[in-house]
Amino acid sequence: MTLTPHPGAAGQPRMLAAQTALETRLLLRNGEQLLLLLIIPLMLLLLLSELAIVELPTDRRVDFLAPGIIALAIMSTAFTGQAVATGYERRYGALRRLATTPLRRRTLVAGKTLTVLAVELLQVGVLTATALLLDWRPDPGPAGVVAAAALVVTGTAAFSGLGLLLAGTLRAEATLATANLIYLVLLLTGGVLVPLDRYPEAIRPVLELLPITLLSDGLRTALDAGARTGSPWPAVAGLLAWATGGIAAAAATFGWD
């Protein structure tokens, strides 16, 4: 029996699967990233649900905190983690080397996107299970589930675009410092842990437009039909606007170099 070799590159779907698996393994092996992506949100949920360190608008603290912590986890993966990882890939020339392979740019971006979604699925699963053990009682209804899914998708797109914009604009060390600083600032000012009515009234309109605020408040509205006082869809529209602007700006600045 004679075997005839057929040299050539693998198909793009196979490349996508391989690239996604590689990106996911690299991310989950990084202890610093795991601290940021899962351990910090989980500790915040556990501690602040039991300790009245911050005054919240409800006696059931976990009902306010759980959606905000889920939004924080999405931001940590799609924005901070992706910005830092991509920034160092540019510094070490990994992206330039990939440009010499049959891997297409859109396949690389798709692989990074699937990695983000896979990690977010893990984060949301762990945080949701923990919140339920802490007696979180979400009541979304069918419409709320659809709205929550739309919020996660648009929020991921918004933060991914902003993360790639940061990685494509700054040097790796500056990206690391800036991404972590932004993470900390948005954690404190984006309605994740502290209600916006605790801030001066003059700056609230600005804080309400932040992507983390749109995501956290939108999830609270979508996941609590019993106490719903508004619609989550304006938040979806706001995140879509952030995603459109961020991705367009990233595409104009980000390259293989």
Q: How far apart are CA 178 and CA 176, in angstroms?
A: 6
User: In 3D, which of 234, 147, 191, 183 has the Cα closest to residue 74?
Assistant: 183
Evaluate whether residue 27 is within a structural domain: yes
121-135 pLDDT, tens per residue? 989 999 999 999 999
Backbone angles phi, psi at 247, to 5 degrees: -65, -40
Q: How far apart are CA 29 and CA 6, in angstroms?
A: 35
Provide the β-strand partners of residue 224.
Answer: 139
Evaluate whether residue 10 is within a structural domain: no
Evaluate whether residue 90 is within a structural domain: yes
Evaluate whether residue 140 is within a structural domain: yes
Cβ proximity of 167 and 238 under 8 Å: no
Q: How many domains does the chain have?
A: 1
153-201 pLDDT, tens per residue? 999 999 988 998 998 888 889 998 999 999 999 999 998 988 898 899 9
The three-state secondary structure class of 104 is coil
Angle of CA points 116, 122, 128, to nearest 5°: 125
Q: Calculate the CA 108 to chain-centre distance.
A: 18
The three-state secondary structure class of 66 is helix
Segment of 26-30, 93-97, 252-256 carrying the highest mean pLDDT: 26-30
Percent of the chain, pLDDT > 70? 82
Cβ proximity of 71 and 239 under 8 Å: no
Give me the helix-helix angle, 141-169 and 172-189, nearest 10°. Answer: 150
Amino acid occupying residue 45: L
Residue 124's domain spans which residues? Answer: 15-252
Provide the β-strand partners of residue 101.
Answer: none
User: In 3D, which of 213, 230, 80 has the Cα closest to residue 151?
Assistant: 213
What is the pTM assigned to this prediction? 0.87
Evaluate whether residue 240 is within a structural domain: yes
Structure tokens at 152: 């996660």
Higher pLDDT, 19 or 86: 86
Evaluate whether residue 6 is within a structural domain: no
Q: How far apart are CA 75 and CA 203, in angstroms?
A: 22
User: In 3D, which of 158, 165, 141, 161 has the Cα closest to residue 222?
Assistant: 141
